[in-house]
Amino acid sequence: MARINLLPWRAERRKLRQKDFLGMLALAVAVGVLASFLVVSWYSGRISSQNARNEFLKGEIAKVDIQIKEIEELDKKKNKLLARKEVIEQLQANRSQMVHLFDSLVRTIPDGVSLTSIKQEGDILTLGGRSQSNARVSTYMRNLESSGWMTNPDLNIIEAKEGNPGLPYEFNLKVKLANPNAPKEGEEAPSGTAAPAAAPAAPAAPAAPAAGGAAS
């Protein structure tokens, strides 16, 4: 009976399997390297794209910061202009009130009374003068109360003084400045009407000529 030696065939088969395994392993390594390269390239592209976006955003933020500074400068200029406008409006209101105030001072002085000094502290006006009698001062105080531009007259001093026989009494009284055009409490001021403001201190005292009549 003939015998067949299978050992060389088996060894050859084993070699083929080893070769196939090594080929598969090399292919797997190549695929892994390629996949790693693709992943690294993709992430590198994403990083580069994100860096470009970051640089763009930095540039835009810098532009916005410049615009914000310009807006802040414009706001400062606007506030200065508004402050100047408010001062001008206040001066105009005070000027108008001063005209009415001095007009009221002239109209309210009765015969036999002469003013010698005017002093202002806030909304309080101190009037000094001379009169023929106490009754003349009382009349003057009533006139001040009814003028609308001055209220709450308060007589501080009245006494007889020598030196002016026609006006022997020297007086000193205080009044509070008011504005008859100001809205009452709970009402809104009409457009163009300035709120009452204290007039600037009068530098000189207007004097009304004393009447030559006898004291009442």
- Minimal CA–CA distance to 198: which of 138, 141, 119? 119
Residues 6+ apart with CB under 8 A from 189: 182, 183, 195
pLDDT interval class at 162 (50, 70, 90): confident
Q: How many CB atoms lie within 10 A of CB 132?
A: 24
Q: Quick one: average pLDDT of 121-150? A: 88
* pLDDT tens-place string over residues 183-216: 555 554 444 444 444 444 443 334 444 433 333 3
Q: Quick one: average pLDDT of 121-130? A: 87
Domains in the chain, CATH or no CATH each:
36-181+196-209 (3.30.1360.100)
C-alpha radius of gyration, the chain, whole number: 51
Model confidence at 81: pLDDT above 60: yes
- Percent of residues, the chain, with pLDDT higher than 90: 25
Sheet with 150-160: list strands edge to edge.
113-121, 124-131, 169-177, 150-160
Model confidence at 64: pLDDT above 50: yes
8 Å CB contact between 114 and 129: yes
Q: What is the 3-state secondary structure (H, E, C) of 146-173?
A: HHCCEEEEEEEEEEECCCCCCCCEEEEE
pLDDT interval class at 13 (50, 70, 90): confident
What are 201's strand-pairing partners? none
Of 38 and 15, the one with more pLDDT: 38
pLDDT, position 73: 93
pLDDT interval class at 56 (50, 70, 90): very high
pLDDT interval class at 7 (50, 70, 90): low
